[in-house]
Amino acid sequence: MVKNSGDKMQFAEVIVDIVTDAVDRAFHYRVPEEIEEEVHPGSRVIVPFGARQIPGYVWKLIEKPEVEKVKNIVCVDDESVALNEEFLELIPWFCYRYYCRTIEAINMFLPPGYERMKNLREKYAVLTPESKQKPDDFWKKMAQKAPRQNEVMQIMLREEELSRKNLIKETGVTPTVINELIKKGLLKIEEREPSFQLFNEKYGEKDAKTNVVLTHEQEEIIARIFKSLKEQKQDNFLIHGVTGSGKTEVYLECIKECLKQEKSAIVLVPEIALTPQMVAYFKNRLPGEVALLHSQLPQRERYNQWFRIKSGQCRVVLGTRSAIFAPLNKPGLIIIDEEQENSYKQEETPRYHAREVAQWRANYNGAVLVMGSATPSIETYWKARSGQMQLLEMKKRATPFSLPGVEIVDMREELRSGNRNIFSRVMFDKISRVLSDGEQVLLFVNRRGFSNFVLCRECGHVVRCPHCSVSLTFHAAKKLMICHYCFYVSGPPEICPECRSTYIKYFGVGTQRVEEEVNKLFPERRVLRMDRDTTTRQGTHKHLWKEFREGKAQILVGTQMVAKGMDFPGVTLVGVVAADTGIHLPDFRASERTFQLIAQVSGRAGRGGRKGEVIIQTYHPGHYSIACVKEHDYNSFYEEEIRQRHELAYPPFSELLRFLFVSESEGKGHNASLDLARLLENLLEKEENNGNLEILGPAPAPLFKIKKYYRYQLIIKGENINRLSDSIRKVVRKFKNTWNPSDVRLVIDFNPQVML
């Protein structure tokens, strides 16, 4: 947004690049006449601030400052990262919705690692137009008077441009010689983005599908979305498609149509490192058009990708949640795959939800928003059922085979019959048969480690982390007890620290224990394990995925990272070893997550040319989140879940604003939570039409202590909480004036996805 020639604005509001509440506002500066044409809303500038000069961003241009003494903007710092008009409008909404500082929001729109990477830009020496017009006599005189300068210029007249570093290396001159040529107007220096070999090229896969015959359901859904794309109409779609129904093919066809219209597209996936197959499809089907943005890329490559997107070299962005901030010019299509995933919600400041930011960008650009899932979030499905978005159903798989048959095994009956093995008899028999037929098995358990906790059978003492209110997990491979929150490590106890008994028992099941048991039962078969412990190195996910997909192992044991986005044609049996892990967590979304996870991992079976089977082991076979998976019945699960949500006034029938108090002192954390609760209660009493807003708590958080810090929480629940955003911010500022952040840290989370 550039000033009109008739504008006489000489001042600017600038957001300085300091992350603190004290300066979370605009400061006024004078725009010097010599840079007036370069300064516009969104410009990154250098400004004096106290005794320092620091970066900042021009928020808007004004005619008159509010203060008498106004300092000058020093210079425009880097126009390549200027905020565009769309982002300048998005940022205020973002700050108010997610209770963050303006500079924290601005930083979301910068290239990854910008502050460090900008120093790696290469400086190029370039011929000026004047030097190209100099006569031969000029160069003859230079050869006599300044032979070293002439030597440099003869090379530059041949090359026209050369990196400053290579020019010095090739000629052996000092930087002073080049600086003299710059002063004479014969050379100029330009900064260029560093060039790297693209890490993304590693993602190409020869076996990615290229010739695909669409099903009738796919064709119908594509036609519906094409209609909105061609009409350039902002529409929202939810594709509710069973696992294996071919949602990715729908995405690809819609993107192709979008590109035909000379528009761009954003595709969000929950965790790109776990979906190498999708990356391969996109790279092969849309050659030269796809840029990747995700945390698994080296920082240099992420930085490079950002500028490829900004320059228009790539019109399709594929990435995780932060890719929603990609600097595409007017995207025409935004796709969110597996829209129900928690990973779309950032769990650190700013605590945004990519799904909500995507909706804002779609509305602003008149773009089509497409969400896809076999197990949609309750909130999204409720919107689709209530007409706020169009519901598109895909009830059949794209392959000739139907969904796998599901058998639920009651582990209580196994215990009564004397079977104390982690595998039921049915599970063992099925694994044996499948392996003998030359097929593959996927075993799912959503806990890593060997045992979930260690207990003294004499007094009942559980070995806990001294810094967190959780039990330690035993890792047999390392022979260590490890806390999965603060990574505290200790050796396994031989005697009980409470009663000195030697009756120590390891309880629960983790991936390591399952792997060990499988190796004992089927020693002739190769077993792979995929969890956080085995995938710490870059590229390990893809290596394990490829090994198993190529049939180099027969059994894969894994956590939730094997449940989504993985297509293994050889897998005909999925075994859910312990389905009850998350059902009884103190979180109103616990049942929803249990259903989604088990349904997703069940969908890994029978995706190739053979019929699939699923065995679910549970101690709660009657729980609706498990019983509905047996029938692949999302709608029945939804009806029960939405009934309970309505009864308790939980989302989608309300919004939540969570205040989390974190302190090394249990007493200070508690007192701080009581103080803010009183301030908020006074606010709600004074506010007219505060609707049905209510305050829950304060109370200890379910995970009361993590990394030596105590945690209390209180929650505002009700409809349209953000209408009180200004008032709540004032209350929070008053609270922060009373409590030192070094004593109590306050975390504010709008519509939290995790309540622990």
Residue 450 pLDDT class (50, 70, 90 cuts): low
Note the pLDDT tens digit of each residue in 576-592: 998 888 888 888 999 99
Q: Please identify, in words, the CATH class of the domain defined by 199-394.
A: alpha beta
State the pLDDT at residue 271.
80
- Max avg pLDDT among 50-54, 119-123, 162-166: 50-54
CATH of 655-750, one of 1.10.760.10, 3.30.70.600, 3.40.605.10, 1.10.10.10: 3.30.70.600
Res 378 pLDDT > 90:
yes
> What CA–CA distance (Å, rounded) separates 64 from 394?
59
Name the DSSP class of 35.
Answer: G
Three-point CA angle 550, 537, 291, nearest 5°: 75
Q: Options 3.40.50.150, 3.40.50.2000, 3.40.50.300, 2.30.40.10; which CATH number does 405-448+510-634 get?
A: 3.40.50.300
Helix or strand holding residue 674 (H, E): helix 666-686
The Cα-based distances of 630 to 615, 621, 633 in angstroms read 9, 10, 8
Mean pLDDT of 60-77: 89
Asked if the model's pLDDT at residue 412 lies above 50, the reply is: yes
User: Do residues 143 and 150 make contact, with C-beta atoms less than 8 angstroms apart?
Assistant: yes
**Residue of higher predicted confidence among 716 and 112:** 716
Give the percent of the chain with pLDDT over 70: 93
Residue 541 tokens read as 């996910």
Bridge partners (DSSP) listed for residue 105: none
- Three-state SS string over 208-255 comes to CCCCCCCCHHHHHHHHHHHHHHHCCCCCEEEEEECCCCCHHHHHHHHH
Show the beta-strand stretches assigned E in 366-476.
368-373, 390-394, 405-410, 440-444, 453-456, 473-475
Q: Give the pLDDT confidence of 19-39 residue by residue, as tens digits.
A: 999 899 999 999 998 888 889
Q: What was the pLDDT predicted at 204?
A: 45
* CA 511 vs CA 108, 477, 563, 598, 618: distances in Å: 36, 11, 14, 16, 17
Give residue 121's pLDDT band: very low, low, confident or very high (50, 70, 90).
Answer: low
Sheet of 694-706: strands edge to edge?
Answer: 694-706, 709-718, 655-663, 745-750
CA–CA separation, 112 vs 102, rounded Å? 18
Whole-number Cα distances in Å, 192 to 120, 123, 307, 468: 9, 6, 11, 48
Q: Is the pLDDT of residue 274 over 80?
A: no
Question: Which class would CATH give 11-112?
Answer: alpha beta
* Distance, CA of 105 to CA of 320 (rounded, Å): 18
User: Which secondary-structure segment (H or E) carries 314?
Assistant: none
> Distance between CA atoms of 178 and 19, rounded to whole angstroms?
39
Torsion (CA) 312, 318, 323, 326 in degrees, nearest 10 = 10
Residues 67 and 523: their CA atoms lie apart, in Å, by 79
State the pLDDT at residue 348: 92
Q: Tokens standing for 154?
A: 């003869």
pLDDT reading at 198 higher than 50: no
pLDDT of res. 452: 67
Residue 174: pLDDT band with limits 50, 70, 90: confident
Alpha carbons 106 and 88: distance in angstroms, whole number:
9
Query: Of 136-140, 200-204, 518-522, which gets the smallest average pLDDT?
Result: 200-204
The bridge status of strand 161-163 relative to strand 52-62 is: unpaired
Q: What is the arithmetic mean of pLDDT over 425-440?
A: 94
Distances (CA, A) of 152 to 123, 187, 255, 369: 16, 10, 49, 55
Check residues 427 and 449 and name the one with the higher pLDDT: 427
What is residue 120's predicted lDDT score, i.e. its pLDDT? 64
User: Minimum mean pLDDT among 38-42, 140-144, 364-368, 502-506: which range?
Assistant: 502-506
**CB of 401 closer than 8 Å to CB of 611:** yes
Which tokens in the block code for residue 25? 């506002």
**pLDDT higher than threshold 90 for residue 595:** yes
pTM, entire model: 0.85
Other beta carbons less than 10 A from residue 653's beta carbon: 17
Q: Which region among 206-220, 491-505, 549-563 has the lowest average model confidence (pLDDT)?
A: 206-220
As a whole number, the mean pLDDT across the chain is: 87
Helix axes 247-260, 216-230, angle to 10 degrees: 30
pLDDT in tens, 210-249: 567 898 999 999 999 999 999 989 999 999 998 888 899 9
